[in-house]
Structure 1
Amino acid sequence: MRDPHGVSVTLNANPKPDPRADFAAGAGVVSRSRKERIMHMAEIATRPLHRLGGGAAAVVRGAVSVVASLVRSWRNRRVVGDLLEFDDRMLADIGLMRGDVTAALSSPTGTDPSTRLRIFAVERRAGLRAQAIEREAQRAARLTGEAVE
């Protein structure tokens, strides 16, 4: 059989019904525009970050970084708070004083108190090292009879 334009057309005597045709015709429960919106949101939600575009991916990475930093700070704050249960001798063994711990915990909530504790401990060790070097120089000067500046 040929159509009016001369193209050969074959007719299928028993066509298979397309299940999508009913939905496309409006027989579905969800309206077509709502279905399209849902499919679009699902596609965006499952799309890898590199396909979201530079701006959106950067925003997501930045938000994840901020949340991770806050969680790490919160955990470290709890651990530093546990140091207050140590006695002064135990704190001295790790190079800290009780005042260092309370000063670190008095830092703003979003900051990591363990960083301040590390600075306190390093400064204290450097000061003790400098004092030891100075005492050794004075002792050597007394033994040799030289003047110490």
Structure 2
Amino acid sequence: MKLAIGSDHVGIELKPTIIEYVQLLGHEVEDFGPFSDERTDYPIYGKKVAEEVAAGHFDGGILICGTGVGISISANKVDGIRAVVCSEPYSAKLSKEHNNTNIVAFGSRVVGSELAKMIVKEWLEAEFEGGRHGKRVEMIADIEMEYSR
């Protein structure tokens, strides 16, 4: 898979560990910033990664902020994005299998590096099951279209 990754200043310390791990698993990853620990705003990077994934330039994305919540909310504002914030691997796996998520997010203040790796691994290895879940993902897309500008 080709993945986009981004964080804010709080997630920047964990980001290199996740990049290295994703590469170790055999995936490509491109970092969309930030590139220093200077205070910044998570919506900037949630949007950047989400736009790249939505445009089809990447197969998926990984986002990191303090809790994973703000950056995932920001990403979900981009049409076609289904970002999930996870603090454990089971939800990451099921989010892909049942909801066809295309971005996983987590918080560097919530999970440590080893748990973050487990979350990423489960999410990357999971596959969308389709079937009854496909209908539900279509329903989500219909809601998105209804409220698009």
TM-score normalised by the chain length of structure 2: 0.24
Structure with bigger gyration radius: 1
Structure number with the bigger relative contact order (C-alpha 8 A, sep ≥ 6) is 2
More helix by share: 1
TM-score normalised by the chain length of structure 1: 0.24
More strand by share: 2
